[in-house]
Amino acid sequence: MLKKILIGVLILIVLVVAVSFVLPNHYNVSRTVVIQADVAKVHEMCGDLKNWPKWTPWEKADPTVKTQLSDVTTGVGAHQSWTSDGGNGELTLTRCDPATGVAYDMNFIDGERTMPAKSWMNYKAVAGGVEVEWGIEGDMRIPVIGPYFAMCADSMMGGMFQQGLDELKSVCEAK
């Protein structure tokens, strides 16, 4: 009986590993919100890294996050890095346009492993305000489990993105 259980477990492990080689490791997560404010107010919050703690959810979710800003906090090249018990990382703005939004390159750092990602906050004028789309995409480059994480990325990160957008909406709509 024990031998059959061990054979079953071994077959299951081989199956999980084999399937991981055919699953995509790419992920793409985005959320949107309509903010009843002008685009200048939205860009003031999104386009300047020093304003991010006012609306991003990360430091509230993980009190061990320590963020360090570069001397330049807005515009292409503005940079921040962070450390926390949950992991380290850095980001650099690659687009900072008051009319269309912000884009940035991110690197999640886990020991010797660096996982790059692209992220954005796009602005679109709509009746009564601005639609903001916040998104991220990249590849989970972790052997065997990476593709499984990629499949779960939306459920793992989407709620945090929505929470951040809801807070951004609240900050921008405050009188």
Burial of 18 (0-12, 13-18, 19+ CB in 10 A): exposed
What is residue 108's predicted lDDT score, i.e. its pLDDT?
92
Does the CA dihedral 77-115-117-56 come out positive or negative? negative
Q: Which residues contact 127 (CB under 8 A, 6 or more apart)?
A: none
Q: Which domains does the chain have, with CATH numbers?
A: 20-173 (3.30.530.20)
pTM, two decimal places? 0.86
Contact between 27 and 155 under an 8 Å Cβ cutoff? The reply is no
Over residues 139-162, the mean pLDDT reads: 83
Amino acid at 164: G
pLDDT in tens, 154-171: 888 899 999 999 999 999
Instruction: Give the containing element (helix H, strand E) for 135.
Output: strand 129-139
pLDDT in tens, 71-96: 999 999 999 999 999 889 999 999 99
What is residue 175's predicted lDDT score, i.e. its pLDDT?
61
